Amino acid sequence: MIPKYKSEFLSIVQDNDIMVQEWTKTPLTESIFKEELNIFLQYFKQIKPRGVLWLQEHFDLEIPEDLYFWIEKHILVPQYKAGLRKLAFTIPKAQHAHLSIIDSFNEVNSVLQPRYFLSKDKAIQYINSEKEKDTIISPNYSVNRTIDKTEITLQVDHKHLPHAIRHLDKLKSQFVFRMERKSQFDDLTLRELEVLKDICRGKTTKQIAEDLFLSENTVATHRKSIIKKLNINNSQDWRDYADGFL
């Protein structure tokens, strides 16, 4: 890669016909953010790349709404008029800041519709592809598991990314819940597990008793045992066990 610009906040390099920008870990302000974007635009006009990639892992500025239209008018429209059609972002760790980026594109119905990726390589592969792919309606992802880690590569249309992030967050919380309570769940007997499933399905004690050919008193006894073993205190705890294990 050929370095083009480097400041305390932003670095710009040229990778063949792709401009790659990366925010540093230095905190941004609104004024600095605008200054760095203006500098980026100057280099964009000089290089005239076929695609632009923003590495957003360290981006921590939640973009205020009053900047949405400024970005569109002063940064995105000039790029679009210059022929840019492929704009890619990598997803940062600061999800709230990232969602503000998505909002900024959606709010103004931006002329440039970016794609979002979890890896730099996938983003560059997209930019280098010969033609624009059809709009992605739902998240497209692959999972690569090794002994010490699990890596998810995600490609999703920007309009659906907030939902995808929320879904991944939910899956993560369910995974953590499952790991923390696995030993408690494993203490359940087979009959208690059957009762738990029916309770989580919203069945009444009478319905469970009829389905499992038990007395209502026996079902009530199993219910008390489940509550004690799983340390269930409220309806949310029942839902958490249903989401995490059933």
pLDDT value of residue 141: 54
Burial of 93 from C-beta contacts in 10 A (0-12 / 13-18 / 19+): exposed
Residue 14 forms beta bridges with which residues? 2, 19
Confidence band for 83, pLDDT divided at 50, 70 and 90: confident
**pLDDT confidence of 19, banded at 50, 70, 90?**
very high
Q: What is the average pLDDT value for the chain, to the nearest integer?
A: 82
- Supply the pLDDT for residue 133: 46
DSSP string, 9-22: SEEEEEETTEEEEE
What pLDDT digit, counting tens, does each position of 95-154 carry?
Answer: 666 666 766 776 677 777 788 777 788 888 888 886 544 444 445 555 565 555 555 565
**pTM, full prediction:** 0.53
What does the pLDDT read at residue 136?
A: 41
State the pLDDT at residue 221. 95
Strand partners, 153: 142
Tell which wins on pLDDT, 194 or 93.
194
pLDDT band, residue 51 (cuts 50/70/90):
very high
Q: What is the pLDDT of residue 61?
A: 87
What the chain holds in terms of domains, given with CATH numbers, is: 2-169 (3.30.750.24), 187-245 (1.10.10.10)
Share of the chain above pLDDT 90, in %: 37
What local confidence, expressed as pLDDT, does residue 97 receive? 67
Tokens representing 117 are 């990726």
51 versus 110: the higher-pLDDT residue is 51
Q: Per-residue DSSP letters for 149-202?
A: -EEEEEEEEGGGHHHHHHHHHHHHHHHHHHHHHHHHHHTS-HHHHHHHHHHHTT
Q: Which of 107, 110, 118, 97 minimizes the C-alpha distance to 168?
A: 118
pLDDT at 37 over 90: yes
**113-127: per-residue pLDDT in tens?**
788 777 788 888 888
Among 97, 104, 113, CA closest to 68: 104
What is the model's pLDDT at position 3? 82
Taking the CA of residue 152 as centre, how many other CA atoms within 13 Å lie in the half-sphere pointing to its CB? 12
